[in-house]
Amino acid sequence: MQDQVIQLVQNVGFPIAMSVYLLVRMENKIDQLADSIKSLTRAIETSLARN
């Protein structure tokens, strides 16, 4: 893995390598946030439908 990272930095440069790394790391968090928003939306809709 470390060799792949070093090769990526050498090939595309440090800023691009960091951007790719951060995007990959953040993708999971964004998916989790989207799921939470959907869940909250359903809960609010259910609550409003009862009233």
Query: pLDDT, tens digit, for every residue of 25-49?
Result: 999 999 999 999 999 999 999 999 9
Tokens of 43: 């809960």
Q: Which domain holds residue 6?
A: 1-50
The single-letter DSSP state of residue 1 is: -
**CB distance 19 to 7 below 8 Å:** no
Give the HSE-up count for residue 14: Cα atoms under 13 Å, Cβ half-sphere: 0
* pLDDT-derived band at 12, boundaries 50, 70, 90: confident
Mean pLDDT, the chain, integer: 90
Q: Is pLDDT of 5 > 90? A: no
How many separate domains does the chain show? 1
Please list, residue by residue across 29-41, b when 16 or more beta carbons sit within 10 angstroms of its beta carbon and e when fewer do: eeeeeeeeeeeee
Predicted local distance difference test score (pLDDT) of residue 21: 86
| pTM above threshold 0.75 | no
* DSSP type of residue 3: H
Q: How far apart are CA 18 and CA 4, in angstroms?
A: 13
